[in-house]
Chain A
């Protein structure tokens, strides 16, 4: 009992320390980036507009047809907003972990390992720049504008589901970032291909799954659980039937899927780190 409490306290103080270390390192990088103010301003603007391009793309599509694959523009904008908000947040927090392979190749991972801070935190905060916050703006605006326009009866459950799906989406994408990074311990060159899962997943989830072939949708539901980022919960919010005919509870499964994925990612990361051998020369 006593040791349990101590362990619990130990775990929570470790978590607090990890978060405060993350913030400290992120702040250091932000101050470094602030040395180039013109670039920061242009970068934040550029990042914001680049992120907004996907919206323009969607709007151009719907300027040509009222419905695409059975979905209206406000429904697709809900998918875009939730997916992009989740992905941008996960990218801010963990996106730079995709550079792990670079660190292994250049031998700089060794330098990270001798410091008394988790290498995951060090890589995740690397080059942390205020410009990345620019990416949150377009999806946040879209959600604010698109949500009231949806032709649905807002029940408390539906209202609550929107933040739940955004947070679950962050957790799922976060798990995918770390999983893809861990893969680079084994396959050094895999970053180019795993971008299909991270960036590709972010793009894919902006659109309704009704666009894609059934087997493809099964793949992004059961193999790489991208459908749980926003598709499954959005079906609940929009009150639509599931084209795969999955049972109703899957619409509420996103948080559990996210937690499970993060557990897998944590095991993969630790395994990869334990088996890491420095680049010899």
Chain B
């Protein structure tokens, strides 16, 4: 198996090293969950059954989005960016491990840590303050697979953005633009089911819907049978395509790299 599982394991331990900090983040996530739930409740009060969701689905969705912020790192960013900026990436490239695989392993560890530390509290708060819909064991298993694919997809997207560092020497601009896309088209701001028809169809075809909307639909039991498979296939296809793009771009980027200093 080699070193990759260890990279994940150590990332998991590193990101779990400050549980208080993560729990503090979870407080904010839960607070936003409460505010968003109140907003969506008012909308579903005015439009019962909008987009096939009922009020309970809408409330659950609000807390789910907050739970998934950490694992799919919806706000973007990756530690690799600082290493490219400082030139430390030259050391990473000298390692006998593939750059992309190494950082994917790191990201999987990070995602698992935040799923527990930042993912659970908002759902607990939601369940205490509102009526939320909890999945049956089958839906829960499907949800676990969907979240796993969402983490892969999120990594694939952020890795591409990070590689822009090699050309622009500052990734924050590209990141700011992709942040908008990921917040809006993932369903983070407003669930995609509440979008007007055409906009909703466009949003559902874009990769970002695989980060939040698809896992949430699976959790809420709105994707079963064929729809479940097509949802998971959608996430997997985007993840695979973007990971391959990342590989090709890595090759181009390493040819460009000039590490300075001595």
Contact = CB atoms under 8 A, between A and B. Distances in A.
B134 interface: no
Interface string B30-49: 11101100110111001100
B24 interface: yes
Nearest to A129: B172
A192 B21 contact: yes
Contact of A68 (B21, B43, B50): B43
B170 A36 contact: yes
Given A64-B50, A193-B28, A211 B42 contact: yes
Contact of A46 (B23, B38, B43, B176): B176
A207 B180 CA distance: 21
A196 interface: yes
Interface stretch (B1-9, B190-198, B229-237): B190-198
A50 interface: yes
Contacts of A56: 184, 189
A20 interface: no
Interface string B191-230: 0001110000000000000000000000000000000000
Interface in B173-194: 173-177, 179-180, 183-184, 189-190, 194
Contacts of B179: 46, 50
A60 B39 CA distance: 12
Given A39-B170, A41-B173, A189 B46 contact: no
Contact of B168 (A38, A46, A199, A200): A38
B173 A43 contact: yes
A61 B194 CA distance: 8
B28 A199 contact: yes
B92 interface: no
B177 A196 contact: no
Contacts of A63: 196
A7 to B, nearest CB: 42
A200 B32 contact: yes
Nearest to B41: A211
Contacts of A141: none
Given A53-B183, A193-B27, A203-B35, A43 B176 contact: yes
A221 interface: no
A53 B20 contact: no
Contact of A196 (B27, B174, B175, B183): B27
A64 B180 contact: no
A64 B46 contact: yes
A199 B35 CA distance: 12
A207 B196 CA distance: 21
Contacts of B176: 42-43, 45-47, 50, 131
Given A46-B179, A53-B184, A64-B194, A196 B43 contact: no
Interface string B44-70: 001100100000000000000000000
A261 to B, nearest CB: 19
Nearest to B199: A60
Contacts of B194: 60-61, 64
Contacts of A73: none
Interface string A128-165: 00010000000000000000000000000000000000
B59 to A, nearest CB: 13
A193 B175 CA distance: 24
A190 interface: yes
A195 B50 contact: no
B180 A53 contact: yes
A248 B215 CA distance: 47
Given A38-B170, A64-B50, A207-B35, 8 more contacts: A42-B177, A50-B180, A60-B189, A60-B194, A64-B43, A68-B43, A193-B27, A196-B30
Interface of B: 18, 20-28, 30-32, 34-35, 38-39, 41-43, 46-47, 50, 168-170, 172-177, 179-180, 183-184, 189-190, 194-196
Top 5 A-B residue pairs of the complex, sorted by shortest distance between their CB atoms? A46-B176, A42-B173, A192-B24, A65-B46, A196-B31
6 contacts: A38-B173, A61-B190, A68-B46, A192-B21, A200-B35, A207-B35
Interface of A: 36, 38-43, 45-47, 49-50, 53-54, 56-57, 60-61, 63-69, 131, 189-193, 195-196, 199-200, 203-204, 207, 211-213, 216
